[in-house]
Amino acid sequence: MLIQIKNLSKVYHDEEVETMALNNVSFNIKEGEFVAIMGPSGSGKSTLLHVLGFLDRHSSGEYLFDGKDSGRYSENELARIRNREMGFVFQAFNLLARTSVLENVKLPLLYSDIPQKKWDTLAKKAIEAVDLSHRINHEPAQLSGGEKQRVAIARALVLDPKIIFADEPTGNLDSKSGKTVIGILQKLNEEQGRTIILITHETNTAEHAQRIIHVVDGEIESDREVKNRHKADEEFKK
């Protein structure tokens, strides 16, 4: 089991005020699954992503990643796992301006122990996986929103992570570009066996996952398999 969450809670403290962002959450995610986490604004879904991605620590409960208790890792160990085992795609793209697609995708390699002579090869492979080889020398200002997000996905792929976290990856895109981005995530899941965790508030986007976890007020309201996924895929291709 890649992710095991048991009775996990996250409390934020602001002076004397406590805010329960996650309350006694439990679920598992197998390697190779495509899971969408849904919920309205303020539901706790982004907090959950931050905890799962080692961007924040939980307050109580257990989080086992690849069979190991994350609570026992130091900050440096968490950073190393986050760099090597996890890839992140955010709504805002977070690309460096006046820097080529190739150089943007190579960024995570700067913090790895991979020899520099291999960086170009790895980055080009990741760029090819998102069908952007023809834009490899372009800068972000020369790309469409959908292309920028595909660069972000390539950057998340470059270190061959076990899991990709995509936080509202279609939020800044038009419907056509959004379909392309979701199609790439599906392809990575189905053809490469990548584990994908997608954060979204869009039902149509979530329906392309294999499973939807619905979060409301910091608690899991439902956890279900997507029965009409193939129907959603057909609508997606139109």
Cα 105 from Cα 122, distance rounded (Å): 9
Task: Give the fold, CATH level 3, of 3-63+76-95+160-237.
Answer: Rossmann fold (3.40.50)
**170-211 pLDDT, tens per residue?**
988 998 999 999 999 999 999 989 999 999 988 889 999 999
Q: What is the pLDDT of residue 15?
A: 79
Percent of the chain whose predicted confidence (pLDDT) is above 70: 95
CA-based torsion, 220, 223, 178, 103: positive or negative: positive
Q: How confident is the model at residue 16 (pLDDT cuts 50, 70, 90)?
A: confident
**111-137 pLDDT, tens per residue?**
888 999 999 999 999 999 999 999 999
pLDDT(237) > 80: no
Question: What is the pLDDT averaged over residues 76-92?
Answer: 92
Of 230 and 77, more confident: 77
To the nearest 5 percent, what fractions of the chain are helix, strand and coil? Answer: 40, 30, 30
pLDDT(28) > 60: yes
CB atoms within 10 A of CB 116: 10
Query: What HEC string does 105-147 produce?
Result: HHHHHHHCCCCHHHHHHHHHHHHHHCCCHHHCCCCHHHCCHHH
Residues 6+ apart with CB under 8 A from 114: 122, 159
152 in Cβ contact with 89 (< 8 Å) = yes
Question: What is the pLDDT averaged over residues 94-102?
Answer: 95
Of 153 and 238, more confident: 153
- Every domain of the chain and the residues it spans: 3-63+76-95+160-237
Question: What is the pLDDT averaged over residues 162-168?
Answer: 94
CA distances from 207 to 34, 79, 112 (A): 11, 32, 35
pLDDT(233) > 90: no
pLDDT(225) > 90: yes
Q: Tell me the residue ranges of DSSP E strands in 15-109.
A: 17-29, 34-38, 60-65, 68-69, 86-90
pLDDT(48) > 90: yes
Average pLDDT, the chain: 92
Q: What is the pLDDT of residue 132?
A: 95
Of 211 and 228, more confident: 211
For residue 197, list its beta bridge partners: 35, 165
Q: What is the pLDDT of residue 236?
A: 46
Q: How confident is the model at residue 229 (pLDDT cuts 50, 70, 90)?
A: low
At 213, phi and psi to the nearest 5?
A: -105, 120
